[in-house]
Amino acid sequence: MSTESDFSPVPPGSPVLPGSPVPPGRAAHDPAAEPQPDLIAQGRARRRAAQGRQAEQAGPGFGAQGRQAGPEPDFAAPGRAAHDPVAEPQPDFVEQGRAARRRAAQAAMAEARPESAPESAPESAEPRQPAAPMAAVAPVAPVAAPDPGPVAQEPVAQGRAARRRAAQAQQTEPEPDFTERGRTAVAVNEAAHETAHEAPDETADKAEPHRTTGAVDNPDGIPLAPYTIPEVPAIGWDPGTSPRRRWIARGLLGAVLTVQAALSLRLLAAAHPDEAATMVAGRQQLDHLLHGTPVTTDLIERVQGSPWLYPPLAGAAADANGIWGTRLLSLGFALITTVLLYSLTRRLFNERVAICAIAVYAVLQSTVVTGFYAAPESLAVLLVALSAWATVFTARRHPALALLAAPPAALACAVAYSAAFALPALVALAFACARPYHRAGPAALRALLAGAGTLVLLLPGGTLGKLAGWSPSQGGAAGSAGSILLSTLKWAGLFTVLAVAGTIAYARREQMNEHDAPEKDSVPTTRGRRALLGTVLTATALLVPAAHVWTGTSGALFRHLAYGMLLAAPLAGVGLTRLVGAHFRHPQLGILVWVALLALGLEQSALRYQNGPDSGRLPAVLRVHTEPEGRYLTEVDGLAEYYLGGVSKPEQWISSRTGTEYRDAAGVRHHGDDGSVAAIRDGWFTMVVLDSTAPKATDRALSDAVTASGNYRLVAQFTSPTGDSSTYKVYLKH
């Protein structure tokens, strides 16, 4: 605390008169001040003197009467008035403090925002003089003691009254509204910002971004720096990666794989003709590779791919565990394909899109059936996924690394000729993925290297020529354009709509910040590049049904759709995330779409395994009528060779699809369908098995020949469990 000398040089014993320049606060707080005159005693003395004067004027004996009769004058009123702080208006020290705080706050705000201060002060405003320090007050000379007439105001009482008024003002009197002043400052700032936008100058591009300044509750008027409200990103998580996100995504990936495996394992049925033909051809190919045994079956031509790639794998799995071993092999291929799809989608976008992509892909009818079907397409789809993953993985690197995607692409086309559907998309994907990181020239070089490398690898063994001559109509049942489009709409309609919607939404605006990269390494996408990527990925989903409509065949459409669904799955994931919205705003919509896809996949995959005649009962009938030296013509390729391998040889069964080499009694040699018809007419076959799902021309010719020959009788007929018109008919020679 400061002493007396810190505030005034007035000696401690000096009397103070009213109106003196000594600050009242010092006198009120000075514990060493001299005792003041007793004003109450003075009032009593004056009262006694007045009573004496009244008694002298009234005469003897009237003093006591006067004192008893009339009211006694109140001579203590002057003393009470001296001590009453309300009697005489005192200086308002609280208001002086408020004025000082307001002036300090205005000066600080003017210094903090020089651009918003007025150019000139109002004329009525008086210049503010700096307050003189209290130590600079001139010393007051000693004065005479006050006379007892007028009562001087006591400095101690003035200090106490000042403290009481200050306490009352803090409780009752409202403070100045500094919040309104802050809003006014914001309005001035925004007006200045709009003015700057209306009249841009040469330095507008270098100006700082506009900051949104909000008003705050600041009762003391302390100048605050303006703050900026950051924009909320339209995404449910940070675009940067983290260990927690990776582990959560891997857990969801495991859940999706479990659902996919469960959907496939529930498909319990006997081997289909295509599966049986592949396993029989694979067993003979494997024996030829290991032991040099000659290949005697004509089912090699039934495999739409190289007989030296997938069939030996299927034959080895069949030797280990029959049809279950081959189907489990296909299931393993399908699960690895889903893992690769998740990885490449995460690299293109982020974990959220990747999870949505594999969630919708895993429940499709094509995925569920192909993943548990002993056919070359299961391995071919895996190789296409591996090629696409290598293309995305090397997008930022040297263009020569695009050659890493060529071997799996060429191998996929060799395993199944139907993989040619995905070859244009794989080449275009090399350009679309590299375009954000490289100029147009290096990106085009990557696509050229990927395409040329694939074609060069297809040259050995004449695979390129076989691929060029392949058509979806080979080995497939004929179908009208309307039936093909209807089947495509049922099997892949909702998924295709979701993928196309995701492509359009992604091309229009990168709203959800799908690219998984930190801000310092973000992907420089434009609308044209996003449209290119979406078109490349979704084109195959539309190309496959268009090719089947062009060729007029629908036999293997359910397996060929797997290529288009695989490549379009990333954009279907984008479409599903846009449907759900930022921060999972509408999760019920995403759940509704996924449940609809799941229900369709469950029903359609079950119907696919039940579609066609009952192949499980056919081998039992054939086993009864099979002879070691008989000759058998069948339109159901593979079933008899696979199930009756212990009682017959594969070469005893002749496929009607490849035709028959037959020489009649006149020595005329017949080929193809003509040879089969001539052999039936002459009764050369011991048994004839017809399938209504076989090519129409061949089935009609053989049916007419069996009926016209009179050498065969119908011993068994099996219809489809689904109630359609497809049947198996078994004719035995008399």
Residue-wise pLDDT tens digits, 419-443: 999 999 999 999 999 888 888 898 9
Distance from C-alpha of 422 to C-alpha of 553, rounded to nearest angstrom? 19
Lowest-pLDDT range, 160-164, 241-245, 440-444?
160-164
Given a cut of 50, whether residue 196 has pLDDT beyond it is no
**Listed ranges 12-26, 382-396, 691-705; the one with the highest mean pLDDT:** 382-396
Q: What is the Cα–Cα distance from 387 to 366, expressed in whole angstroms?
A: 20
Share of the chain above pLDDT 70, in %: 68
Tell me the torsion sign for CA atoms 625, 631, 632, 638: positive
One-letter amino acid of 107: A
Least confident interval from 30-39, 327-336, 442-451, 692-701: 30-39
Torsion on CA atoms 183, 189, 195, 200, rounded to nearest 10: -150
Structure tokens at 430: 């090399």
Residue-level pLDDT at 137: 41
Report which residue type is found at 538: T
CA 666 to chain centre: 75
Residue 705 has pLDDT above 60, yes or no: yes
CA distance 350 to 342: 10
Give the per-residue pLDDT at 709. 85
d(CA 405, CA 449): 10
**CA 565 to CA 499: how far, in whole Å?**
9
Exposure letters 595-621 (e unless 16+ CB within 10 A, then b): eebbebbeebbbebbebbbebeebbeb
Is the Cβ–Cβ distance between 347 and 393 less than 8 Å? yes
Closest CA to 561 of 493, 478, 607: 493
Distance from chain centroid for Cα 123: 62
**Could you give phi then psi for residue 553, rounded to 5 degrees?**
-135, 145
3-class SS of residue 713: strand
Q: Which of 89-98, 269-278, 407-416 has the lowest mean pLDDT?
A: 89-98
Q: Residue 692's pLDDT is what?
A: 80
Q: Which of 606, 579, 601 is nearest to 592 (CA)?
A: 579
User: Counting beta carbons within 10 angstroms of the beta carbon of residue 654, is it exposed (0 to 12), middle (13 to 18) or buried (19 or more)?
Assistant: buried
Are 283 and 319 in contact, with CB atoms under 8 Å apart? yes
* Residue listed under structure tokens 């592949």: 278
Residue position matching structure tokens 């040699």: 669
Residue 715 reports pLDDT greater than 80: yes
Q: How confident is the model at residue 336 (pLDDT cuts 50, 70, 90)?
A: very high
* Beta carbons within 8 Å of 291's beta carbon, 6+ residues apart: none
What percent of the residues of the chain are helix, what percent strand, and what percent coil, each to the nearest 5? 60, 5, 35
Reply yes or no on whether the pLDDT at 642 is more than 70: yes
Q: Is the pLDDT of residue 67 over 70?
A: no
Identify whether the C-beta of residue 375 lies closer than 8 Å to the C-beta of residue 275. Answer: yes
CA dist., res. 654 & res. 685, Å (int): 10
- Mean pLDDT in the chain? 76
What is the rounded CA–CA span in Å between residue 303 and residue 306? 7
Per-residue confidence band for 471, with pLDDT thresholds at 50, 70 and 90: confident
Residue 36's pLDDT is what? 61
Alpha-carbon distance 634 to 655, whole Å? 5
427: which 2 tokens? 């080449």
Q: What does 644-691 look like in DSSP terms, one character per residue?
A: TTTTS-GGGEEETTT---EE-TTS-EE-HHHHHHHHHHTT--SEEEEE
The two tokens of residue 226 are 């303006």
Q: What is the pTM of this model?
A: 0.67
Q: Pick the closest to residue 486 from 543, 548, 539 (CA basis).
A: 548
The span from the CA of 590 to the CA of 512, in Å, is 15
